[in-house]
Chains A and B, each alone.
Chain A
Amino acid sequence: MTEVKMTVNGKAVSGTVEGRTLLSQFLREDLEMTGTHIGCDTSQCGACVVHVDGQAVKSCAMFAAEADGAEVTTIEGMANADGSLSTLQQAFQDHHGLQCGFCTPGMVMSAAALLAENPKPSEAEIRHYLEGNICRCTGYHNIVKAIQAASGQDVAIAAE
């Protein structure tokens, strides 16, 4: 067992973990932050995406011990300080970018990483960037629209 310390959503946290403790497990079970979802646990679905030192990673494919000293951001850290939804989250709601919502934490984290890198991505760039995020419900169209809208681009509101 080793002691790890990191910053999660701006707050210093610590815990005692095994070598094999995944970052996803540490977040959900030790810190009780269950916003990060585990869909596949085999690196395929992207539901577990969080940011580590600003980069999108699959938290089911990284050990908690490797995040020692890192700055981690999860979906719980995405809302505005007053608890209202961020522009990106609000866009997911406005454009029906989710149905069951299982993939949504990972979608929002990946989308936020994309927009940090590329503030006005084209539709093709958004689809390409989301290759590692699987959604069983929406067929992706409204997720793409939500991201376009969040980046200030015109999209039709009626999401039928």
Chain B
Amino acid sequence: MYAFNIERPSTIAGAVDALAKDEAQALGGGQTLIPTLKQRLASPDTLVSLTGIPEMQGICTADDGALCIGGATSHAAVAAGASAYPALAALAGGVGDPAVRNRGTIGGSLANNDPSACYPSAVLASDATIVTNAREIAADDFFDGLFATALDEGEIITEVRFPVPEAANYQKFLQPASRFALVGVFVAKYADGVRVAVTGASEDGVFRWSDAEAALSGNFSASALAELSVPADGMIADLHGSAEYRAHLVKVMTGRAVSAA
């Protein structure tokens, strides 16, 4: 690692000020960033830790029923505390391993937008709102391809608001070495329709499978998917699975998620 300083502000305003400096970068749980620093793929002068900010911690329910999760809330805290949205709690409880879940945060996962990360699928399928220090961003406008998001330089995710669905489920086909999703599908059924978000599969990162959404909005059962298929074009191909294999898994995992929801 190159040398840097660490600042530990206790308010969002303090963090935003610290991040305004040249070559400053946010530090969430560090579960992605620390390995990146070790590989010298990042060289900030200052890391601004977000995990000591009480306003960015915890889970609550808003007046409109949405589940609000502070941007620096750990995966373990979501797994234990998001009982109002069981599919989301289960997703958080399946990220990595216990030690990773005790440190890693929802904001860090979303800002990182790893194409195989779990949380982006929940956010997209739930039509969640990403709240930053500066604005609110709809899930459909947030994810911007591999490791890219709508966040500006120095902008931090302070909260994520999830409308709670009538039924939902996340199915993760585990890549056993990394513990990320080889393919993961999050299905959420709301009064006004079904949303299906897929992670791990596409070279462009998380995406909505709109054909499945249309079919499931009419008939919420795995059989509604029978006639559908996912093109292998643009799917990730690596030593863990070919593009065709991933495309196939998208449909299989969607069916399982619908049955389990």
Taking CB atoms, residues of chain A closer than 8 Å to B37 are: 20
Q: Which of A44-94 contact B (CB under 8 A)?
A: 46, 49, 55-58, 60-63, 65-66, 68
Taking CB atoms, residues of chain A closer than 8 Å to B3 are: 18-20
Among A46, A58, A133, residue most surrounded by chain B Cβ atoms (within 10 Å): A58
A46 and B4 contact, CB distance less than 8 A: no
Q: How far apart are A95's CB and chain B's nearest CB, in angstroms? A: 22
Taking CB atoms, residues of chain B closer than 8 Å to A7 are: none
**Which residue on A lies nearest to B76, using beta carbons?**
A55
Taking CB atoms, residues of chain A closer than 8 Å to B96 are: 131-132
A6: Cβ under 8 A from any B Cβ: no
Taking CB atoms, residues of chain A closer than 8 Å to B179 are: 131-132
Q: How far apart are A108's CB and chain B's nearest CB, in angstroms? A: 14
Give complex CA distance A133, B97 in Å.
Answer: 9
Taking CB atoms, residues of chain A closer than 8 Å to B208 are: none
B150: Cβ under 8 A from any A Cβ: no
B99 and A110 contact, CB distance less than 8 A: yes
Taking CB atoms, residues of chain A closer than 8 Å to B4 are: 19-20
Sorting the interface of chain B by its residue count into under 10, 10 to 19, 20 to 34 or 35 or more gives 20 to 34
Interface stretch, picked from B28-36, B135-143, B214-222, B226-234, is: B28-36
Q: How far apart are A146's CB and chain B's nearest CB, in angstroms? A: 18
Q: How far apart are A147's CB and chain B's nearest CB, in angstroms? A: 14
Q: How far apart are A75's CB and chain B's nearest CB, in angstroms? A: 15
Given contacts A2-B6, A131-B179, A132-B97, contact A63 B102 (CB under 8 A): no
B97 and A46 contact, CB distance less than 8 A: yes
Give complex CA distance A120, B179 in Å.
Answer: 25
**Which residue on A lies nearest to B103, using beta carbons?**
A57
Taking CB atoms, residues of chain B closer than 8 Å to A58 are: 99-100, 103
Give complex CA distance A113, B100 in Å.
Answer: 13
Give complex CA distance A73, B230 in Å.
Answer: 49
Q: How far apart are B177's CB and chain A's nearest CB, in angstroms? A: 8
Q: Which of A126-150 contact B (CB under 8 A)?
A: 129, 131-133
Give complex CA distance A2, B99 in Å.
Answer: 26
A57 and B47 contact, CB distance less than 8 A: no
Q: How far apart are B123's CB and chain A's nearest CB, in angstroms? A: 24
Select which of A22, A61, A62, A110 is within 8 A of B98 by beta carbon.
A110
Q: How far apart are A102's CB and chain B's nearest CB, in angstroms? A: 17
Q: Which of A3-57 contact B (CB under 8 A)?
A: 18-20, 22, 41-43, 46, 49, 55-57
16 A-B pairs, CB-CB below 8 angstroms?
A19-B4, A42-B35, A43-B31, A43-B35, A43-B100, A58-B99, A58-B100, A58-B103, A61-B35, A61-B103, A62-B34, A63-B30, A131-B96, A131-B179, A132-B99, A133-B97
Chain A residues close to B by CB (< 8 Å): 2, 18-20, 22, 41-43, 46, 49, 55-58, 60-63, 65-66, 68, 110, 113-114, 129, 131-133
Query: Closest 4 interchain pairs by CB?
Result: A132-B97, A20-B1, A19-B6, A131-B97
Given contacts A20-B37, A62-B30, A129-B98, could you give 5 more A-B pairs where the C-beta distance is less than 8 Å?
Answer: A49-B99, A60-B34, A62-B103, A68-B8, A132-B98
